[in-house]
Structure 1
Amino acid sequence: MSTIAAPNHPLAVRMAAIAFVAQNAGVGFMFGSFGLLLEPVEAKLGIARDTSSLGMALVMLGMALCAPLVGTLSARFSLRTLMMAGAAMSAAGYALLAVAGSVGTYLAAYGLLIGPGLALVATVSPATLVTRWFDQGRGRALGLVHMPLLVAAMPLACAAVLAAAGLAATYMMLAGGMALLLLPLLAVVDRPPAMADAVAQDAGAAGLSEKALLRQPSFWALTLAAAAISTGGTLLVTHLAPMVGGWGFDVAEGATLLSVMALAGIAGSLLFGWVADRLGGAIALAINCVNQGLLWAVLLLKPTFPIMLVVIALIGVHAAAITAVFGLALSQRFGAASFGRAFGLSSLLTLPFLVAGVPVGAWFYVNTGSYAGAVVTQIGFYAVGAIAAIATARTRGAG
């Protein structure tokens, strides 16, 4: 039986606003600029696409490897300090990219500064901050914070600066934006007073350790469901354009589908946050997996472009909701005090699926001449994720 959540502290809305700015700046600056800047980077450094694109892989690796550490540090140190350190590291990384004259410097900036910096300022910490401050409407708050607004806006801003002032100025704009983020981060308050008092008086109030989480079957089940959703999103973003190109769609139609998927995600984050608040995070995860499995099945029919617009928009709605529904599921099962560790650890555990998903999709295409095998495999993954989430939904911890 669910219990009535306590009213949120008056500062909760302010903390959510700061988390929104931090998450959008960190993720939006990186993922909204990277692809646009590949060609000028290649021209400057004299490198090919396989080398220039390694920056993205190193960022993803740095984020995933550092996420468990950030989760642990969030229980011991101030979130304000961690988030400010992440913003400073990201700003330094972009500034280094502005003056980079070698491949080594280019890759080091992404792998050693921006990737770990994003783990501190944009992935684990904002979700942890919101989870601590919101008892009522936690799913909606997580959904709002993770609306991907800047990911959609940054390509336009970067294109304008790139055309007017060049590559170095574009990177310096990103560095300046991350430096400005330090100002709102000064206002971060780690916990509501009641939670801070509980942690001070009782060491057990700090939540479960990583070892304790790894001994929980429900933690593995929720992580598996989240991995299914994350892998599907990564796989489709990477292979959607070439897949529909093989069906006869032109480049503009493929690009339109990708844009529609991204824009639909803005609504999806809020919608599934509301669903998760009403039904519970684990049930929302299961619904997400089931719906996506059905939507992916439509892809096997190679539908016409108008139908694909609808299907891809619906997939975008579901894919972008992962942080809201998964975050709420974790907090409901293990409590707000354990959230940072649980979220960070699960980020690391999903990395192998994310890394394997894209090349597995390519393997199916190379060996069969079709993406049908990859689509069927992903549908099966969604089915496994749905079963795991439903099994976990039978029990809910205090959040």
Structure 2
Amino acid sequence: MSVNEVVITNQSEAVQLPNHFHHWRLVFVGYVILFIYGSQIYSYGVFLKPISIELNVSIAVMSSISAASFFVLGVLAPLIGRLVDVYPLKVLLYIGVIATAAGFFLMSVAQQTWQLLAAKALLMSVGAAFAGTMPIYKLVTAWFKQKKGLALGIVGVGLSTAGVIIPIVSAKGIDLLGWRTTLIYMGVVAALVPIVLITFFVHVKPSLLGLRAYGDEHEQNKNNDKNNDKNNDTLDSSDAVSHVSNSSQESSNQSGDDLDTDNNKLPFKVILKNPNFWLVSIPFGVGLAMLTALFTHVVSFAEGRGLEGVQAAGLISIIAGAAMVGKVFHGWLDDKLSLKTLLIICFSIQCVGFAGVNYSGDHYGWLILSVTVWGFGAGGVTPLMALAAVALNGAKYFGSTFGSIRACSLPLAAGGTIFAGRMYDVFGSYDLAFDVFLVICVAASVLLFFIQPNKFSVKSAQGDGAGAGTGA
């Protein structure tokens, strides 16, 4: 028996006896990569004042740099969405890791504002686009048909874990080493750890290991397995989800010309004409606006309430810890409740928590409780955004749909942190800005009630390339 025959035999056995270890190992790898991605997000608020003082840059300008990074992400999102549907994910991840590390290094030597802008808004934004939630969630959706929400929630915990650890570590690093040296160390870790994991443990589809997606009960064609083994980790998402059936094509409101199934592309006009798309994109934008504004300004906000140093930075860790639990909780509920109901719960919790933050006064205990509640709700935003992309157009077009949601929601996120910074510079407090955030959060929650549930279901879109929600 030849070596190739042995490999094929072993792969056949693996198909008959599913090895879920590889599925959950991929989840862990995604968790670590998103932890690295989260380090640049959750550390920025800690570096805000030391950098602004040394370089003589106002808080408003520093906030604008953060906002610019979200603007760049919004511009890149549709492009990256198309890329993750078509091109090898490992290549995209390598690009993102290198860009992120380069951003840390450039920021560590910055002497002028434009260098900070290039580091944060250009390099780190490219890193976030190529090695952030979109490609990682695409990997997870390819490996999981069942327990997709739970897997996405666990992967997303990587972001929250960064929020728990990174602010405290960054604050300690700044105290001991200075902000420049701390950024250098963060850049080294951001480069080495993900590259090792991507090289040895990332496989874009389970068939490359002779496996099926978690929960996939369909038999795979052995000839396809042999051909897949010869591919160099190129992504063919039809191995992760079923092809569009003829009946689904007839029932959808799309013509054959609208879908480019050969390249896994879904035209933006098809995505944007779906009312459900806007009914979820606007609330997600509001959620991200609150998230970015609070993480950027919470240290200054807390200091205005009488807290100092590490204690103020600790609020970021509290929020992230609550978000960590919230991500898993919302993912776990995915198998038990409709996605529409989950979204309403998620944003209602955020409204309650943010109201508590805004009106906590100088009561530190009430502030901690409020940010905990808000963080628990906010933790569901990114995994539910991924599930919404699947519910709208199916897993096959996840990248294009997720990228479009990000593109439409990130301008709100960018505007949120600029608005909060401007209000602080003008009035010396965040009270007015946070009042506005609370009002729009309530409005966003109301919008979710108008989602058409018959065109918005993860379960009905699992094996449907076009998804349940395409069309008008």
Fold conserved between structures, TM > 0.5: yes
The whole-number CA distance in structure 2 between the counterparts of 1:174 and 1:245 is 26
Per-residue deviation, residues 116-174 of structure 1 (Å, max 9, x unmatched): 11111023111211122111111111111111112221233334444444444322212
Q: Which residue of structure 1 lines up, in the alignment, with residue 368 of structure 2?
A: 309
CA distance in 2, matches of 1:323, 1:171: 26
Q: CA deviation at 1:227?
A: 2.1
Structural mapping, 1:326-365, within 5 Å: 326-358=385-417, 360=419
- Out of 281, 287, 290, the residue aligned to residue 223 of structure 1 is 281
Of the three residues 170, 195, 204, the one matched with 2:261 is 204
Aligned residues: 390
Quickly say closer, same or farther: Cα 1:8–1:94, change in 2 above 3 A: farther
8 Å CA contact 2:80–2:130 kept in 1: the answer is yes
Partner residue in 2 for 1:109: 119
> In structure 2, what is the equivalent of residue 155 of structure 1?
167
- Do the aligned residues in 2 keep the contact of 1:54 with 1:107 (CA within 8 Å)? no
Q: Residue 392 of structure 1 aligns with which residue?
A: 452
Q: CA separation in 2, counterparts of 1:361 and 1:43? A: 19
Summarize the Cα distance change of 1:89–1:335 in structure 2 as closer, same or farther, 3 Å threshold: same
- The answer as to 2:146 corresponding to 1:129 is no
Superposition deviation, residue 393 in structure 1: 2.6
Tell me the CA shift for residue 363 of structure 1.
7.6
* Distance apart, 1:222 and its partner CA: 1.6
Q: Which amino acid aligns with 1:331?
A: V
1:268 paired to 2:326? yes
Structure 2, gaps ≥5 residues long:
1-16, 208-219, 221-236, 245-259, 463-472
Partner of 1:26: 37
Provide structure 1 residue ranges, at least 5 long, that are not aligned to the other structure: 1-6
Where does residue 345 of structure 2 map in the other structure? Answer: 287
Match of 2:91 in 1: 81
Structure 1 residue 182 and structure 2 residue 195: aligned? yes
8 A Cα contact 2:357 2:371, kept in partner: no
Distance 1:387 1:109, change over 3 A: closer
Q: Identify which range, 160-169 or 314-323, moves more after superposition.
A: 160-169
Any conservation in 2 of the 1:127–1:142 contact (CA below 8 Å)?
yes
Candidates 182, 186, 196, aligned match of 1:170:
182
Partners of 2:175 and 2:356 lie apart in 1 by: 40
Partner SS for 1:143? helix
C-alpha RMSD over aligned residues:
3.4
Q: Trace 1:219-258 onto structure 2 (pairs within 5 A).
A: 219-237=277-295, 249-252=305-308, 257-258=315-316
Shift, 1:201, TM fit = 8.4
2:101 corresponds to 1:91: yes
**Alpha carbons 2:149, 2:335 under 8 Å: kept:** yes
Shift of 1:284: 0.7
Are residues 50 and 333 of structure 1, via their aligned partners in 2, closer, same or farther at CA, if it must alter by over 3 Å?
closer
Cα distance in 2 between the residues matched to 1:88 and 1:32: 19
Q: Which amino acid aligns with 1:231?
A: A
Identity %: 25
Cα displacement (A) at 1:72: 0.6
Larger deviation: 63-72 or 198-207? 198-207
Q: Which amino acid aligns with 2:197?
A: P
How far 1:362 moved relative to its partner? Answer: 6.9
TM-score (norm 1): 0.84
**Greater mean deviation of Cα atoms: 114-123 or 254-263:** 254-263
Residue 191 (1) aligns with residue 201 (2): no
Q: 1:308 to 1:351 in 2, by over 3 A?
A: same
What SS does structure 1 have at the residue aligned with 2:334?
helix
* 8 A contact 2:81–2:403 mirrored in 1: yes
Which region of structure 1 is more displaced relative to structure 2, 378-387 or 207-216? 378-387
Q: Is the 8 A contact 2:59 2:421 kept in 1?
A: no
Whether 1:65 and 2:75 are equivalent positions in the alignment is yes
1:278 Cα offset (Å):
1.7
CA 15–312 in structure 1, closer or farther in 2 if over 3 Å, else same: same
Quick one: which amino acid aligns to residue 263 of structure 1? G
Preserved contact between residue 301 and residue 429 of structure 2 (Cα < 8 Å): no
| 1:14 is the counterpart of 2:25 | yes
Provide, for residues 178-207 of structure 1, a one-character-per-residue CA deviation record: whole Å limited to 9, x for no partner: 221111112322233364448898862725
Answer whether contact 2:82 2:265 (CA < 8 A) is retained: no
Classify the secondary structure of the residue corresponding to 1:265. helix
Counterpart of 1:208, as a letter, is: L
Q: How many Å apart are 1:65 and its aligned residue?
A: 1.8
The residue identity in structure 1 corresponding to 2:268 is E
Relative to structure 1, the CA distance from residue 385 to residue 192 in structure 2 (aligned partners, 3 Å threshold; closer, same or farther) is: farther
- Is the alpha carbon distance of 1:364 and 1:48 closer, same or farther for their aligned partners in structure 2, counting shifts above 3 Å? closer
Report the Cα offset of residue 77 of structure 1: 0.4
Determine if contact 1:38/1:49 at 8 Å carries over to the other structure.
yes
Following TM superposition, by how much is the alpha carbon of 1:225 offset from its aligned partner in structure 2, in angstroms? Answer: 2.6
C-alpha separation in 1, matches of 2:336 and 2:403: 25
CA apart distance, 1:330 = 2.0
Tell me the CA shift for residue 73 of structure 1. 0.5
Work out the CA distance in 2 between the residues paired with 1:332 and 1:149. 27
The equivalent residue for 1:3 is: none
Q: 1:225 to 1:9 in 2, by over 3 A?
A: farther
Q: How many angstroms apart in 2 are the aligned matches of 1:157 and 1:270?
A: 24
**Aligned with 2:451: secondary structure?**
helix
CA distance in 2, matches of 1:244, 1:95: 29
